[in-house]
Every structure is written in structure tokens, then in C-alpha cells.
Chains A and B, each alone.
Chain A
Amino acid sequence: DQQVKQNSPSLSVQEGRISILNCDYTNSMFDYFLWYKKYPAEGPTFLISISSIKDKNEDGRFTVFLNKSAKHLSLHIVPSQPGDSAVYFCAASWSGNTGKLIFGQGTTLQVKP
């Protein structure tokens, strides 16, 4: 049972345009959401997060939007750069889960120059 789903395995975007990565979840108990970025031969690194009390969090070129009623979050990258090409994982947790993260399948983003 996949509680966190990233239904798009891959996404290709032109440099300078917006990249939108999507994530859906099924567990209404989740109250904290994170995005991780992973380059080949490296471990995932934390990118941005959002608490369920917010619907938007912004950090530079990266913005995460949360729609609790739809159990959906998205990561927007504007403008996209070739260095953003990586695998992006959505993750979720809840306070009763004592810090364990549940990850999605990942989406591979390719930003073309």
C-alpha cells in the first residue's frame, strides 16, 4: 500500500521554464511533508518542507504547495536550471509516527539547456 505516490516517473523541462512535480498521499494523519533531491551516486538531500498548518512554503526558486483537501502537494521550481536535473522524492510523516518518513517513488527531472 503506497501511502505516498508520485505518479510521474519522469519530467522534462526546458531551462528557464517552470518545473512542477506532483505528489499525492492517502494517509490523512500526515502533518509534515518534505522534498528531497538526489543526484546519481549520492544520497538524497533535503530540499524544502511544509507543515500541514500551511498551504505554501517558499525558498528561493523552490516553492511547495499543499492542498490538504485533495491530499496533494506539488513542488514548483522557477526558473528551472540544468543543475536541477535529479531525482526528486516526496516524503511525509506525522507526529504519531515519531519521525519516520514515508517516501514516494521519485520523479526524475531533466532540465534541458
Chain B
Amino acid sequence: DADVTQTPRNRITKTGKRIMLECSQTKGHDRMYWYRQDPGLGLRLIYYSFDVKDINKGEISDGYSVSRQAQAKFSLSLESAIPNQTALYFCATSDTTSNYGYTFGSGTRLTVV
């Protein structure tokens, strides 16, 4: 099994729909992150969590929410999807001693039509 598993891998949804992207990790790390990748913009941080009770907004959190259900699980929700949320979404995890090295999942390609 992969260290960081994201589901679904691909999703097409309609404008206005609620959608949840899920992430689970087997690394035993406390820290988890959600990024989105857009062409020409690189990876931008949406939300991050340093433990189950600690949730923080990143640079582009508007329109998104997250839930840290357990140390191993961190889900990202789009409450009412819009077309400019079409992107590749990555979950990542890190520990506190890895000199900031992240382990990424394989990504979820989301298309909002």
C-alpha cells in the first residue's frame, strides 16, 4: 500500500455540488497538508493540520473546508464546487524532524463542469 492514499483519483462533478476528497496515510506523521496544482502556478497550500485538533488555513482556503478525522485521515471538501476549482489536488504528510520533507499522495484530478 502507498504511504499516502488519495481517493478518488479522478472525479468530474457539476457546479454547485458538494464533493469530498479523502486522504489517508500510513507514515504515522502528525502533519498533513492539502495543495492544489494549477498550470503556471505550481503547488499552492489550501489547508494544513499539525495534529488532530489543529487545523489552519493556507494561502487559498476560500471555498474549501477540511476535517481531520484521525491522525491518519485528512479530508478536503468543496461545499459548492465551481469551475475554477478544477485542478489537481495533492495531499501530503510530514513529521517534525524530516527537515520539511513531505510525502505526497498520487493526486486527485478534479473537474468541475
Contacts and interface: CB of A to CB of B under 8 A. Distances in A.
A60 interface: no
B96 A43 contact: no
Given A43-B90, A46-B101, A46-B102, A103 B44 contact: yes
A43 B106 contact: yes
Given A32-B100, A43-B90, A106-B42, A99 B31 contact: yes
Contact of B99 (A43, A49, A103, A104): A49
Contact of B42 (A98, A99, A104): A104
B94 A99 contact: yes
B104 interface: yes
Contacts of A103: 35, 42-44
Given A41-B106, A43-B4, A105 B42 contact: yes
A106 B90 CA distance: 15
Interface residues of B, number: 26
A19 to B, nearest CB: 19
A67 interface: no
A44 B100 contact: no
Given A41-B106, A42-B106, A43-B107, A101 B100 contact: yes
Contacts of B58: 100
Nearest to B92: A43
Given A41-B106, A43-B90, A99-B31, A93 B43 contact: no
B99 A32 contact: yes
A42 B90 CA distance: 10
B57 to A, nearest CB: 11
Which A-B residue pairs are the 3 nearest by beta carbons? A43-B104, A103-B43, A105-B42
Interface of A: 4, 6, 9, 32, 34, 36, 41-46, 49, 51, 89, 91, 93, 98-106
Interface of B: 4, 31, 33, 35, 40-45, 48, 50, 58, 90, 92, 94, 96, 99-107
